[in-house]
């Protein structure tokens, strides 16, 4: 970005400050404002900022935060060097939404937990801290089984964020305090006792861009999403996987799970089980078991534990083709 544009972005960020919200595609923010869940003191339209480029830079690809989901999914460099990203985007929402929605807005989207979105359903610790969690003993079919706490079990819904977590994406953030880089995997936070704090974005800070590092496992990557219907539906379970194979042995593995975590779930236990091994269905199952050991269901969402394992086994199997 040109220094003048940096200044402009910083000024915009400053204008938003603590009680403000940026408006990108508006497909999430406006919905929540209509439902009276989001009540920002200021809404700052950021669409005039020059943040929609998709650039081939040293070591990888830089995607502006305002690039539209459809443009990123269709970009040849994304499709060839980061297929899991393109597939995750194409599996998201609908073509109309993807034309309007931005990369930054997608990563920042809030949960679809029904108790969070409908004010008649109380209590909800995320919307009204300290009030309790209606999903724990309520309708939790869609909610998370990994990274939950006694205060919140809300699912993180973004498909893109899962692929980005798997492929070591890095976010550039800019705000009144300057610019900084954050690994995407550390950007979203576990609910713990403060489910209302969802990410590592300081007041007034703006996501400027997403950097995707090139790697053999990124080039050989894929995203598999399992859902109630094949379009226009959020994940029940999903897996972003990337493998580097060398003489039939897995040299590098990247795995992240979606549809099951309170944040995009980078799956280090699964990765550790895969590296150095010869691909096989038995190995993939062992990796899935290792990752899901800490999973905890809450009744209606118990099925997700087995579904996530099967989704990961299938995604890895599809990726290696006949090799497993």
Ligand X SMILES: Cc1cc2nc3c(=O)[nH]c(=O)nc-3n(C[C@H](O)[C@H](O)[C@H](O)COP(=O)(O)OP(=O)(O)OC[C@H]3O[C@@H](n4cnc5c(N)ncnc54)[C@H](O)[C@@H]3O)c2cc1C
Least Å distance between CB 173 and ligand X? 8
Of 117 and 314, nearer to ligand SF4 (C-beta) is 117
203 binds, among ligand X, ligand SF4, none (CB under 5 to 8 A by kind): none
Q: Where are the beta strands (DSSP E) in 176-321?
A: 178-183, 206-213, 221-226, 237-246, 249-258, 265-266
Residue 137 DSSP symbol: T
- What is the closest distance, in whole angstroms, from the C-beta atom of residue 303 to ligand X in the complex? 19
Stretch that binds ligand SF4, among 53-61, 151-159, 170-178, 215-223 (CB under 6 A): 151-159
Q: Which does 134 bind (CB under 5 to 8 A by kind): ligand X, ligand SF4, none?
A: ligand SF4
CA dist 244 and 107 (Å) reads: 26
Q: How far is the CB of 143 from ligand SF4 (least distance, A)?
A: 6
Residue with tokens 């309708």: 139
* Residue in 23, 63, 101, 133 binding ligand SF4, rule: CB under 6 A: 133
Q: How far is the CB of 158 from ligand X (least distance, A)?
A: 4
- When asked if residue 32 is in the footprint of ligand SF4 (CB under 6 A), the reply is no
Q: What is the pattern of x (binds ligand X, CB under 6 A) and - over residues 157-186?
A: xxxx--------------------------
Find the helix or strand (DSSP H, E) in which 3 lies. Answer: helix 3-16
The verdict on 24 binding ligand X (CB under 6 A) reads yes
3-state class of 179 per DSSP?
Answer: strand
Distance CA 129, CA 295 (A): 25
Smaller CB distance to ligand X: residue 85 or 108? 108
Nearest to 51 by CA among 2, 85, 89, 98: 2
For CA atoms 196, 201, 204, 210, the dihedral sign is: negative
Q: Which of 84, 27, 85, 93 is nearest to 229 (CA)?
A: 93
Q: Which is nearer to ligand SF4, 152 or 212 (CB)?
A: 152
Among positions 188-207, residues that touch ligand SF4 (CB under 6 A) are: 195
**Is residue 115 within the footprint of ligand SF4 (CB under 6 A)?**
yes
DSSP 154: P
Instruction: Count interface residues toward ligand SF4 (CB under 6 A).
Output: 15
H/E element, 269: helix 268-274
Question: Which partner in ligand X, ligand SF4, none is near 115 (CB below 5 to 8 A by kind)?
Answer: ligand SF4
Strands, E, within 195-288: which ranges? 206-213, 221-226, 237-246, 249-258, 265-266
Nearer to ligand SF4, 33 or 252 (CB): 33
- 204 — alpha (psi -120 to 50), left (phi > 0) or beta? left
Q: Which residue's CB is nearer to ligand SF4, number 16 or number 113?
A: 113
Give the interface segment with ligand SF4, choosing from 60-68, 132-140, 218-226, 265-273 (CB under 6 A).
Answer: 132-140
The residues near 178 (Cβ < 8 Å, ≥ 6 apart) are none
Binding-site ranges for ligand X (CB under 6 A): 21-29, 31, 65, 92-93, 97, 100-102, 104-106, 108-109, 157-160, 206-207, 234
């Amino acid at each position: 970005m040109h220094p003048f544009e940096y200044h402009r972005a910083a000024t915009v960020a400053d204008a938003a400050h603590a009680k403000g919200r940026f408006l990108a595609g508006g497909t999430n923010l406006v919905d929540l404002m209509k439902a009276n869940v989001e009540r920002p003191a200021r809404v700052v339209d950021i669409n005039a900022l020059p943040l929609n480029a998709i650039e081939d830079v040293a070591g990888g690809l830089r995607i502006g935060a305002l690039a539209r989901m459809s443009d990123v999914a269709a970009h040849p460099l994304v499709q060839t060097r980061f297929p899991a990203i393109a597939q995750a985007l194409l599996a998201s929402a609908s073509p109309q939404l993807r034309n309007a929605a931005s990369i930054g807005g997608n990563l920042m989207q809030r949960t679809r937990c029904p108790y969070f979105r409908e004010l008649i359903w109380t209590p909800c610790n995320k919307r009204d801290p300290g009030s309790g969690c209606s999903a724990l003993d309520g309708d939790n079919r869609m909610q998370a089984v990994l990274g939950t706490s006694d205060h919140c079990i809300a699912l993180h819904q973004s498909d893109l964020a899962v692929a980005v977590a798997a492929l070591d994406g890095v976010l550039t953030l800019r705000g009144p305090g300057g610019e900084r880089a954050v690994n995407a995997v550390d950007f979203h936070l576990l609910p713990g006792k403060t489910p209302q704090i969802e990410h590592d974005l300081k007041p007034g800070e703006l996501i400027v861009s997403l950097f995707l590092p090139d790697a053999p496992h990124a080039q050989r990557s894929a995203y598999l999403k399992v859902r109630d219907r094949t379009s226009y539906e959020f994940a029940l379970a999903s897996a972003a996987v990337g493998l580097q194979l060398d003489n039939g042995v897995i040299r590098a593995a990247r795995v992240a799970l979606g549809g099951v975590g309170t944040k995009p779930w980078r799956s280090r236990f699964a990765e550790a089980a895969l590296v150095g091994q010869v691909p096989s269905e038995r190995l993939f199952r062992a990796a899935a078991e290792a990752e899901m050991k800490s999973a905890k269901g809450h009744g209606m969402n118990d099925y997700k534990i087995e579904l996530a394992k099967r989704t990961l086994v299938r995604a890895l199997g599809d990726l290696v083709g006949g090799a497993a």
